[in-house]
Structure 1
Amino acid sequence: MAVNTDTSFVDHLAPNVAVQFLDRVAKSPNAEAFRFPRGESWESVTWKEAGDRVERLAAGLLALGIESEQRVGIASGTRYEWILADLAVMCAGAATTTVYPSTNAEDTAYILSDSECRVVFAEDDEQIAKLKERKAELPHLLRVVTFDGTTDDSWVIDLDQLAELGDAYLAEHEGIIAAIAEKIAPDQLATLIYTSGTTGRPKGVRLRHKSWVYEGAAIEVQDILHEDDLQFLWLPMAHSFGKVLLSAQLACGFATAIDGRVDKIVENLGIVKPTFMGAAPRIFEKAHGRIVTMTQSEGGAKEKIFTQAFKVGLAVDELKRQGKSVPLPLKVQHALFDKLVFSKVRDRFGGRVRFFISGAAALNRDIAEWFHAAGIVILEGYGLTECSAGGFVNHPDDYKFGTVGPALPGSEVKLGEGDEVLIRGPHVMDGYHNLPEETAKTLTEDGWLHTGDKGSLDADGFLTITGRIKDLFKTSGGKYIAPSAIESKFKAVCPYASQFMVFGNERNFCVALITLDPDAMAGWAEENGMSGASYTDIVRSEKVHALVSGYVDDLNARLNRWETIKKWEILDHDLTIESGELTPSMKVKRNVVEGNYGDKIAAFYS
């Protein structure tokens, strides 16, 4: 068992998120807290301005009759108002229930009903329509507060109307928010996050105030982030990864620029020029693929310089990792390529990034090393919603590629049966909402969380995740296969890849279903005489089949014989959240894909 023994800071945590926020407002009243887009420009608010708005909204919730630990839903994309709503819920002593804006009406109603939400913040008319359609299933829902939607001044009100209710309440109950904050116990329910499970109904994960406060403090105590940092936040706040970054902000005091529009990430990075950002691996895969394919399309001297630059960058990094000195000729080449190539790659991300944090799924080591060669550090972390998203993270001054770092200070890790990763600490959930049997399967009596992931620990306590235990399969030849490891290797090899799904359970060889990135393929089509063709026609063309075949051969050359992909097919569309084949955090629902394309997979073996 590897135990992280630095627990001293845990005894001095703020008692709850509300106090943590109010303390930050008092400590940094005039410092920038948030900035967000308003039309074509960006607007900025200080901690005091955010604090005043949160106090009014929290009092508005009290005016609506919200009581301690009662649930308040937020059905919205990531935006400044999401943060305000969540902090208002915290300061009112209630508990936030998160709903992805892409969730369908049936599942939205299930989540809000199961959690017995009394009030829901709904982003716009699309979200309001889901609530109206299922109103009969939501007997507890008293009021809807919309950010941009149409109000009716009775059941649906807007943020300003909620704030006005708060003003009246504060006039009669002076100092009520601070008084409530002081009474919130560390073990009180703060958040119900429903996991977008791959089977059955989503499960509500009960996370306490102390869990979120701990997450932020565990980052602060490692001296990773500081008040002068600037975060760019686009991650879905309905996902626990986004909530960890908010906790870190409250603990460390840095400013955050917020815009949840995924199609604007690269553009926004150039405008905001952040010092760090959290992201899912798919974002880095897409960026890597885009840069590589753009350079390939230019061809000639530019492509040769680019290829040689990364050859040199990777060689220099490898020497440094081995503790060897870099020969002078290589140093000179590296300095030249830094000016010609690497600085331009860094500029695409704003030019000031100290590091990125990757979570929510496995990051391919080759892609991490490629970015590192360009002077961009991606720190991989690991966790589950069940441990408030953050369980392990690499440190900017101490990281190992291919690992997710050591356990957070003040928590413990051990490997159980079959090398399953087990976690214990203040960040572990209270249990699943209304599901005692599921809770008993996942949490041991002495507080260890079963993650369902297989891993290994090195001598320094750095954890490597080798795959989901339930996703591992055995070929008919008796060889175990970790499909996720093969899948991430293909994404590093093929810059056009979107998804690569490996199958072969109890079969005598492995096969794959492939989807290509629509944006990357549109660029490819421009260069290959298929401009304006549909995605389906592009990926069905002989040229694309030959292109992908080359990348599959490249992949197979890097695999053990029993892992190699013998047959494969490109699907005529990409996987999407809307189709139900991806979770909102962009993970593939393997069993859904296998069910949808069972005939294709079976045909590989016929």
Structure 2
Amino acid sequence: MSDQPLLPLQAFAQRLAEMPEQVYLTQPHPGGRLETLTWRQVDDQVRRAAAWLNSLALPQGSRIAIISKNCAHWLIADLAIWMAGHVSVPLYPNLTADSVRQVLEHAEVQLAFVGKLDAWPSMAPGVPEGVTTVALPLCPEGAFDRTWQDLQSTPPFTGVAPCQAEHLATLIYTSGTTGTPKGVMHNFANFAFTGTHAVALFDVNPADRVLSYLPLSHVAERVFVELASLYSGQQVFFAESLETFLSDLQRARPTVFFGVPRIWTKFQMGVFDKLPARKLNVLLSVPLLGGVLKRKILAGLGLDSVRYAVSGAAPLPEPLQQWYAKLGLNVIEAYGMTENCGYSHIGRPESLQQGWIGPANPGVTVRISELGEVQVHSGATMLGYYKDPERTAETLTEDGYLRTGDKGEQNAQGWLRLTGRIKDIFKTSKGKYVAPAPIENRLAAHERLEQVCVAGDNLPSALGLCVLSDSGREQARSEEGRKSLAQSLEQLLHATNAQLDKHEQLHALVVVGDAWAVENGFLTPTLKIKRNVVEEAYRKHFEHWMAQPHKVQWHMP
């Protein structure tokens, strides 16, 4: 591999030269209309938008925001920002007005592209005065300074983009499970390293298809969809909405698919709603019938063409991985952070090792510190946090390694396993330390549990807080169903505690009636549980729950 891989816009130019009339982006519109854009059409729109940006005579490297859910023009706007020599600042599409203002002011954003959004009226007050707003084609109702049509009436840019490898490409503000967002700085060299290596690792090519549905403002989707498409030529399909997600997935029939553990759990729960787990297991064990059923289930999910299925952003419970393997789909785990473009470790479908993520990716070196922290180094490592040298120094070692904050270990083959978060580890009132993540993974194997959070800071022993799946809630509505569910959960607790040291064992499982969602602040935009929010929401009940002898308790209507 060349020491100097193509920069993203150079890779885009190469795709354009090789396949100008091949469809690149497929965008669904309300009412069922499908818009397809070839590489040539995308290039024309990018160049017109870049020319318009150039007409503003902004200083090179100005920060320009993209506030939108995933859509074709998210990618087009990003490419135009780069072609004009500026820095893109993506925002999550469900932020509060205060969070919008915090990011835009911190990044000193000059202009914002506003696209597909559900809650723009509540977000708009966060846009500071003086920030020009440009409405993308799928924009919400509202007043904007310019429209995409205005930009497209500009003659296309015909020069060479001024961006260089060392130039800042983007500021990615981490969603964060605690604290205020940090602006992670990545230059074009970081993106070139990541895109080139990631595509080569699994031979992603122009015949591949991907569905874009997780936030493009998050590094995982940015790499898996945007960079991978630029460096491989894969076709990108977009999801229209949550309601149409399954039909969007069936339309795309992706060959590569990335999901967070909650998505993989949701798929499984959907199958169980139609065919209970025990019955499914029996049917899958029947020769011939089992094979037909596997194919039917995967086709129903739109996953029958997937050759690489990837899970990331949080640990994937082993039983869930094993369940998909029974269907003939090897879901591999990827490990990475915003701070290293999500490029660190990934499993290999042909040699899965249960409980282990995988080896370090090509070009990545890894070490385990004396405290057990995983530290990594590669060409994907960030430059630092924008305007925050203190936190940069806390996160990057003097010799350039990224402190991940994750505890982990490596086996003889160099495969990595995470054993918890250094900061998530809490101390019980007995002075013993507990790592919640491995316990949560064991509990999450239950088919009626959708989310689990182990809490126990300053308690005599830990509690497992649980949110039921839709089918679990349905079962809990009747007295008989709740009793059966309680027995099942008590067996789960007993089996889990039997595998734990005494100081790690849970006092009880508490089933809570609240939904933990992005909208109510319990989850990050990438569906990770905000542990501090969960603990704060239920802390006033901890003492009462600890005083009860019941091993399964209910905190729901």
Is 1:228 paired with 2:207?
yes
CA contact (8 A) 1:215 1:248 kept: no
Shift of 1:344: 1.8
**Distance in 1 separating the partners of 2:96 and 2:477:** 30
Task: Look up the match of 2:552.
Answer: none
Task: Look up the match of 1:79.
Answer: 71
Task: Look up the match of 1:21.
Answer: 12
Task: Look up the match of 1:520.
Answer: 471
Residue by residue, what CA displacement relative to the aligned partner does 1:457-478 show, whole Å, maximum 9, x if unpaired?
1222211111111112344556
Q: CA 1:433 to 1:560, structure 2 compared with 1: closer, same or farther past 3 Å?
A: same
Residue by residue, what CA displacement relative to the aligned partner does 1:267-307 show, whole Å, maximum 9, x if unpaired?
222222221211111001111122123212xxxxxx76522
Task: Look up the match of 1:286.
Answer: 266
Q: Identify the structure with bigger relative contact order (alpha carbons < 8 Å, sequence gap 6+).
A: 1
Task: Look up the match of 1:118.
Answer: 110
Residue by residue, what CA displacement relative to the aligned partner does 1:330-366 show, whole Å, maximum 9, x if unpaired?
xxx5444112x21222112322121311111111111
Shift of 1:506: 4.2
**Distance in 1 separating the partners of 2:248 and 2:184:** 32
Q: CA 1:224 to 1:349, structure 2 compared with 1: closer, same or farther past 3 Å?
A: farther
Question: One-letter code of the match for 2:471?
Answer: A
**Distance in 1 separating the partners of 2:421 and 2:335:** 13
Q: Over the residues paired in the alignment, what is the CA RMSD in angstroms?
A: 2.3
**Distance in 2 separating the partners of 1:448 and 1:55:** 38
CA contact (8 A) 1:10 1:214 kept: no
Task: Look up the match of 2:301.
Answer: 349
Is 1:582 paired with 2:523?
yes
**Distance in 2 separating the partners of 1:243 and 1:58:** 20
CA contact (8 A) 1:212 1:388 kept: yes
Matches within 5 A, 1:342-381: 342-350=294-302, 351-381=304-334
Matches within 5 A, 1:491-502: 491-493=444-446, 495-502=447-454
Identity, % of aligned pairs? 29
Task: Look up the match of 1:308.
Answer: 282
Task: Look up the match of 2:148.
Answer: 159
Select 1:53's aligned residue among 15, 38, 45.
45
**Distance in 1 separating the partners of 2:501 and 2:337:** 33
Question: One-letter code of the match for 1:100?
Answer: Y
CA contact (8 A) 1:151 1:158 kept: no
Matches within 5 A, 1:207-356: 207-245=186-224, 246-259=226-239, 261-296=241-276, 306-310=280-284, 312=285, 333-339=286-292, 341-350=293-302, 351-356=304-309
**Distance in 2 separating the partners of 1:603 and 1:585:** 32
Task: Look up the match of 2:36.
Answer: 44
**Is the partner of 1:36 in helix, strand or coil?**
strand
**Distance in 1 separating the partners of 2:92 and 2:516:** 18
**Distance in 2 separating the partners of 1:548 and 1:157:** 57
**Distance in 1 separating the partners of 2:478 and 2:338:** 39
CA contact (8 A) 1:151 1:157 kept: no
Shift of 1:110: 0.6
Residue by residue, what CA displacement relative to the aligned partner does 1:516-568 show, whole Å, maximum 9, x if unpaired?
23x4356x36xxxxxxxxxxxx5696733641441342243143263443223
Unaligned runs of 5+ in 2: 548-557
**Distance in 2 separating the partners of 1:539 and 1:385:** 41
Select 1:149's aligned residue among 137, 140, 146.
140
Select 1:109's aligned residue among 101, 106, 112.
101
TM-score (norm 2): 0.91
CA contact (8 A) 2:267 2:301 kept: no
Q: CA 1:539 to 1:244, structure 2 compared with 1: closer, same or farther past 3 Å?
A: farther
**Distance in 2 separating the partners of 1:124 and 1:234:** 12
Task: Look up the match of 1:300.
Answer: none
Select 1:410's aligned residue among 360, 363, 376.
363
Residue by residue, what CA displacement relative to the aligned partner does 1:97-140 show, whole Å, maximum 9, x if unpaired?
111111000000110110011110112576654565245x444x
**Is the partner of 1:12 in helix, strand or coil?**
coil
CA contact (8 A) 2:99 2:126 kept: no
CA contact (8 A) 1:113 1:138 kept: no
**Is the partner of 1:597 in helix, strand or coil?**
helix
Select 2:442's aligned residue among 489, 499, 505.
489
**Is the partner of 1:228 in helix, strand or coil?**
coil
CA contact (8 A) 1:556 1:564 kept: no
Task: Look up the match of 1:568.
Answer: 509
Is 1:427 paired with 2:380?
yes
Select 2:167's aligned residue among 188, 193, 218.
188
Unaligned runs of 5+ in 1: 1-8, 297-302, 313-332, 526-537
CA contact (8 A) 2:64 2:110 kept: yes
**Distance in 2 separating the partners of 1:521 and 1:306:** 17
Shift of 1:78: 1.0
Question: One-letter code of the match for 2:423?
Answer: K
CA contact (8 A) 1:500 1:512 kept: yes
Task: Look up the match of 2:463.
Answer: 511
Task: Look up the match of 2:485.
Answer: 547
**Distance in 2 separating the partners of 1:211 and 1:501:** 34
Question: One-letter code of the match for 2:151?
Answer: L
CA contact (8 A) 2:62 2:86 kept: yes
**Is the partner of 2:227 in helix, strand or coil?**
helix
Shift of 1:425: 0.9
Residue by residue, what CA displacement relative to the aligned partner does 1:398-422 show, whole Å, maximum 9, x if unpaired?
4333222222211211111221010
**Distance in 2 separating the partners of 1:540 and 1:336:** 34
Task: Look up the match of 2:392.
Answer: 439
CA contact (8 A) 2:311 2:331 kept: yes
**Distance in 1 separating the partners of 2:254 and 2:416:** 28
CA contact (8 A) 1:32 1:44 kept: yes
Q: CA 1:69 to 1:501, structure 2 compared with 1: closer, same or farther past 3 Å?
A: same
**Is the partner of 1:579 in helix, strand or coil?**
coil
**Is the partner of 2:37 in helix, strand or coil?**
strand
CA contact (8 A) 2:449 2:472 kept: no
Shift of 1:24: 1.8
Shift of 1:221: 2.2
Question: One-letter code of the match for 1:248?
Answer: A
**Is the partner of 2:315 in helix, strand or coil?**
coil
**Distance in 1 separating the partners of 2:337 and 2:52:** 33
Quick check: which one's helix share is greater?
1
TM-score (norm 1): 0.84
**Is the partner of 1:486 in helix, strand or coil?**
helix
